[in-house]
Amino acid sequence: MEFIYEKKVGELVAEDYRAAAVFQKYGIDFCCKGNISVDAACTLQNLMTEDVMRELKILFASEKNQPVDYQSWNATILSDFIEETHHRYVREKTPVILSHLDKLCQKHGGRHPELLEINKLFNASATELALHMQKEEQILFPRIRQIATVTSGTDPNHLFTRGMLNAPIKMMMHEHDQEGERFKKIELLTDHYQAPADACNTFKVTFALLQEFENDLHLHIHLENNILFPKAAQMEKELMN
């Protein structure tokens, strides 16, 4: 892999998802705001670019724990994977976390008023993500699969409308940004998911689940913003030409 400071954060993570751990360590957003260079991202965080690049070089030089090569997957496989893995995860974990947060607010909301705000934010996220995934499953992903059948020659006679992906992709990316900002607030309110000294087991479990949920959401958004959507846009461009 060629290391250049001008390479975009999202591109590096798309090539090797292990880079996400380095960017997370330094507070660099690789999913929603991954469309800037490593150098620019470091400047925004007041970091030395050389320090971040040194860790990335060491990471990429290691052969251990090789990542899944999502970049090699076609758009149809990626769409299916996102639905079956990440959409399913959100639907399974959301009610569990909501239930835990409700209990925490009832029992500990007086001593920890931040729980009330966390609960409010996660409820909003649960509502918005449900609608977001529905739009992807009913509108955007089917369109991506339709274009894939045309470009692959599977169904060359399928009707194709110019610009059918542009608007929904822009909308999905905007909604990704909103969720990214929401979870930044949750992370700050939870002190980076560190349960307080007087926390009960439910407290600890809930914060652990919230952190896991955010980590999954980061990968979920990364796969769409940095891999699936560019692949789909490229297919559409080829057809238009």
The answer to whether position 174 is within a domain reads yes
Q: Looking at the structure, do residues 156 and 45 belong to the same domain, yes or no?
A: no
Q: Looking at the structure, do residues 48 and 102 belong to the same domain, yes or no?
A: no
Confidence (pTM): 0.79
Measured between its terminal Cα atoms, the distance across the chain in Å is 31
Q: Looking at the structure, do residues 191 and 130 belong to the same domain, yes or no?
A: yes
Q: Which of 216, 41, 235 is nearest to 154 (CA)?
A: 235
- Measured CA to CA, the distance from residue 235 to residue 160 in angstroms comes to 12
Q: Looking at the structure, do residues 23 and 131 belong to the same domain, yes or no?
A: no
**Tens digit of pLDDT per residue, the chain (241 long)?**
455 667 888 888 888 878 888 888 888 988 778 889 998 999 999 999 888 988 888 877 776 556 678 989 999 999 999 999 999 999 999 999 999 999 999 999 999 999 999 999 999 999 999 999 999 999 999 999 988 888 766 555 555 566 689 899 999 999 999 999 999 999 999 999 999 998 888 899 999 999 999 999 999 999 999 999 999 999 888 887 7
Q: Which of 236, 186, 223 is nearest to 73 (CA)?
A: 223
Number of domains the chain contains: 2
The answer to whether position 2 is within a domain reads no
